[in-house]
Amino acid sequence: MPDSQELDIDGLQRRMDGALKALKTEFGGLRTGRASLSLLEPIVVDAYGSQMPLNQVGTISVPESRLLTVQVWDKGLVSAVEKSIQNAGLGLNPAADGQLVRIPIPELNEERRVELSKIAAKYTEQARVAVRNVRRDGMEHLKKLEKDGHMSQDEHHMWSDEIQKMTDDHIKKVDESLAAKETEIMQV
């Protein structure tokens, strides 16, 4: 928050938007039976003595709806890329073909779909908590401004309503994101 003389409503908006963006990133990593570049985004590879994002050691592409490929630039890193994908906990089994690593996306069974829905719900709850924490910070700042005489009760009430409306809007977007992701996961 800026100095205690004013309320940074744009900062609160930005932080709530950040929680929503983080949720969408988390959802991108949830496998839905269709190949997606975002599935491999969080994977890091042991390369050149450090941890490097997968997209910095090769080109990731989606040639078919149920296949991902990684064209590894350095021949010496092919096995490290394979190992990183296998150990990522995504249930994927990559196969190297020269410098090209093919990653078939298996069909999702019902049990796995339910498990993915639970994970999506957990991510959603984390996003809701993050949005509510931003709201709480804003409300505490309002109370302090009023207590210190920098804001009237009427202004406090008006800004409280504004922050609550922003919170409600963001929670609604979070819930809509979950509903869309669950529909996508359950789609056969």
The domain that holds 137 is classified in CATH as 1.10.132.20
Reported pTM: 0.66
67 & 96 share domain: yes
- H or E, element range at 185: helix 153-186
Query: What pLDDT, on the 0 to 100 scale, is given for residue 1?
Result: 37
Q: Which range has the worst mean pLDDT, 17-31, 45-59, 147-161?
A: 17-31
79 & 56 share domain: yes
> Mean pLDDT in the chain?
87
Average pLDDT rounded to a whole number, residues 175-187: 88
pLDDT of 174 strictly over 90: yes
pLDDT digits (tens, 9 = 90+) for 66-79: 888 999 999 999 99
Residues 6+ apart with CB under 8 A from 138: 7, 9, 12, 159, 163
Which residue range is the domain that position 86 belongs to? 37-104
Domain count across the chain? 2
137 & 172 share domain: yes
The number of helices, as runs of H, and strands, as runs of E, in the chain is: 4, 6
Domain boundary among 104, 123, 153: 104
In a domain, 1, yes or no: no
pLDDT of 99 strictly over 60: yes
